[in-house]
């Protein structure tokens, strides 16, 4: 196949093409409207392409259809075009029939999913009258999510003071949870994780919203929910004492200019852990102990 920006021939019904977007998709052109003008295509940089006078209809092998794709897009760097091996009419009709079946299946699946989400939403509302639901007529998911998360953490861990702050930025929004000692990160994230709307897909460089997580739709949330647990000197020294006892070693604790306890590189010790066939440093063992301990 030839890169779209290098293909100078005319596109035809039956031409096989490939888009590298969304993990890669193979397709067949089944409709062309307007007069093609490959000589007018211009690459402006940053993925912006102009020119061309035709629009292209494509049926993809995965059962989706894209109509009216500008000629300039198909002749761009993110597409590949075959200069031979045209698909015949029968193959095109088979691909279109499959796409129609997939469309119906998806429509049915979407209706069933919407019904299940509505039942889940009602169950959540009934089970958590103490929380404030989002207003469907207002964009208050971030505000309500922060408020409800703060309430849940306070109810679950009344002796711990949490800082729950939210912010918006050009790429979305986030909620940051900070606390000292108290519950473990794992315990907190069992609650906070419900408020994250999805995850970033590094392979395709896109953010994917979770279709199965109804909680943010009901009680709010953010694209990213992050947690950060700090430790007091008392907790750190307790962990050091437990590691010294467990491993039969002596660790030297230093203090930063802000009076925070730590073990310096010069005073760190390697410990042979035969069960794991590796060496742990004293500071690693202390940090692991801290992360696993509820203070």
Both 89 and 76 in one domain: the answer is yes
Q: Which residues span the domain enclosing 245?
A: 233-292
CATH of the domain at 152: 3.30.300
Q: Which of 230, 257, 272 is the last residue of a domain?
A: 230
Contact residues for 287 (Cβ-Cβ < 8 A; gap 6+) = none
- Residue 53's pLDDT band, with cuts at 50, 70 and 90, is confident
Listed in sequence order, the residues at least 6 apart from 283 whose beta carbon sits closer than 8 Å to its beta carbon are: 262, 263, 268
**pLDDT given at position 190:** 97
Q: Rounded CA gap, 208 and 80, in Å? A: 26
Residues 229, 128: Cα–Cα separation, whole Å: 27
Q: How many domains does the chain have?
A: 3
Give the model's pLDDT for residue 45: 65
Instruction: Read off the pLDDT band of 50 (50, 70, 90).
Output: confident
Q: Are residues 132 and 81 in the same domain?
A: no
Kindly tell me if the per-residue pLDDT of 71 is higher than 80.
Answer: yes
What is the average pLDDT score of the chain? 92
* Residue ending a domain, choose from 81, 99, 117: 99
Of 210, 230, 250, the one marking the end of a domain is 230
Are 181 and 193 in the same domain?
A: yes
52 and 81 belong to one structural domain: yes
275 and 193 in a common domain: no
Instruction: Let me know if residue 118 belongs to a domain.
Output: no
Bridge partners, 177 (sequence order): 164, 227
Question: Computed from CA positions of residues 68, 71, 73, 75, in that sequence, does the dihedral angle turn out positive or negative?
Answer: positive
The answer as to whether 117 is a domain residue is no
Distance CA 79, CA 19 (A): 5
273, part of any domain: yes
The predicted pLDDT at position 134 comes to 96
Pairing of strands 172-180, 224-230: parallel
Per-residue b or e along 2-18, where b marks 16 or more CB atoms closer than 10 Å to that residue's CB: eebbebeeebeebbbbb
Query: Strand, coil or helix: what is 235?
Result: helix
Over residues 120-172, the pLDDT tens digits come to: 999 999 999 999 999 988 889 999 999 999 999 999 999 999 999 999 998 89
Phi and psi at 112, nearest 5°, equal: -65, -40
| Segment 93-119, tens digit of pLDDT | 999 999 999 999 988 988 988 999 999
Q: Does some domain include residue 271?
A: yes
Distance of alpha carbon 34 from alpha carbon 53, whole angstroms? 6
132, 163: one domain: yes
């Amino acid at each position: 196949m030839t890169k779209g920006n290098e293909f100078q021939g005319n596109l035809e019904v039956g031409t096989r093409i490939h888009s590298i977007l969304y993990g890669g998709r193979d397709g067949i052109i089944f409709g062309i409207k307007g007069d093609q003008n490959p000589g007018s295509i211009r690459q402006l940089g940053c993925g912006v392409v102009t020119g061309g006078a035709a629009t292209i209809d494509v049926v993809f092998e995965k059962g989706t259809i894209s109509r009216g794709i500008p000629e300039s897009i198909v002749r761009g760097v993110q597409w590949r075009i075959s200069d031979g091996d045209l698909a015949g009419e029968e193959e095109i009709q088979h691909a279109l029939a499959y796409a129609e079946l997939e469309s119906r299946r998806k429509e049915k699946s979407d209706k069933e999913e919407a019904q299940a989400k509505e039942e889940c939403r009602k169950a959540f509302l009934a089970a958590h009258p103490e929380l404030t639901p989002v207003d469907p007529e207002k964009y208050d998911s971030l505000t309500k999510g922060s408020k409800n998360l703060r309430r849940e953490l306070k109810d679950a861990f009344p002796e711990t003071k949490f800082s729950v702050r939210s912010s918006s930025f050009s790429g979305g929004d986030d909620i940051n949870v900070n606390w000292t000692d108290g519950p473990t990160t794992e315990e907190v994230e069992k609650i906070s994780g419900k408020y994250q709307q999805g995850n970033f897909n590094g392979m395709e460089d896109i953010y994917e919203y979770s279709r199965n997580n109804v909680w943010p739709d009901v009680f709010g949330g953010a694209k990213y929910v992050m947690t950060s647990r700090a430790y007091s000197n008392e907790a750190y020294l307790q962990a050091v004492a437990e590691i010294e006892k467990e491993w039969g070693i002596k660790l030297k604790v230093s203090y930063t200019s802000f009076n925070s306890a730590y073990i310096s590189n010069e005073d760190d010790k390697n410990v042979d852990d035969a069960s794991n066939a590796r060496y742990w440093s004293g500071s690693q063992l202390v940090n692991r102990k801290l992360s696993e301990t509820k203070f």
